[in-house]
């Protein structure tokens, strides 16, 4: 990753979690690079597992040993996503990484899960001008996120937590909690 002094002002703002303009040429170049890798990943023959793993490693900032990402997979930049070892990401995942997405070890992510770091400004005038923002998502070790769940910006999901299928996670999830619904709420604590 280039040093901060060599980055455009808008990229520096994005990485710092400040409002930024996504049409910045450097950000557009980064997004195009990610789209090219995703295109190859998402059109690869299913038998080409070694190439799939190599493309995932090229796309993401960090991928731990034994982790699997099944296509189709979509992200903004890829380089701001780090994934620990032994993770499994099922088909159709969307990880919008204008802010950091950190995924711990042994995390299971069901089909069509969305990890969304960009909260657009609530002020319509600011939004109309094209300003965007981002807040990180942190998923600790041994989490299971059920199919179709959506995790919103700025959320931390604690170790061993389970997010039920279709849940919309709007706030932090305690460790060992099972959350369901929209908005997601704790329905039980599992000690293991």
Q: Report whether 24 contacts 132 (CB < 8 A).
A: no
Q: Distances in Å between the alpha carbon of 138 and those of 22, 37, 51, 66?
A: 23, 24, 28, 20
For the question of residue 74 being annotated catalytic, the response is no
CA distance 24 to 47: 38
User: Which one is catalytic: 39, 45, 91, 120?
Assistant: 120
CA distance 188 to 192: 13
CA distance 143 to 155: 14
Q: Report whether 172 contacts 158 (CB < 8 A).
A: yes
**Residues classed as catalytic:** 120
């Amino acid at each position: 990753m280039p040093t901060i002094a060599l980055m455009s002002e808008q990229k520096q703002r994005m990485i710092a979690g400040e409002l930024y303009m996504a049409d910045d040429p450097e950000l557009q170049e980064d997004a195009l690079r990610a789209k090219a890798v995703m295109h190859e990943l998402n059109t690869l023959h299913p038998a080409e597992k070694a190439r799939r793993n190599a493309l995932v490693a090229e796309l993401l900032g960090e991928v731990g040993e034994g982790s699997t990402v099944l296509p189709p997979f979509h992200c903004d930049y890829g380089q701001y996503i780090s994934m620990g070892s032994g993770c499994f990401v099922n088909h159709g995942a969307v990880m919008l990484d204008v802010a950091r997405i950190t995924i711990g070890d042994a995390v299971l992510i069901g089909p069509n899960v969305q990890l969304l770091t960009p909260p657009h400004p609530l002020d319509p005038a600011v939004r109309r001008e094209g300003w965007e923002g981002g807040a990180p998502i942190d998923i600790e070790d041994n989490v299971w996120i059920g199919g179709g769940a959506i995790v919103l910006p700025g959320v931390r999901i604690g170790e061993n937590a389970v997010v039920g299928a279709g849940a919309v996670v709007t706030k932090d999830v305690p460790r060992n909690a099972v959350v369901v619904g929209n908005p997601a709420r704790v329905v039980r604590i599992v000690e293991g």
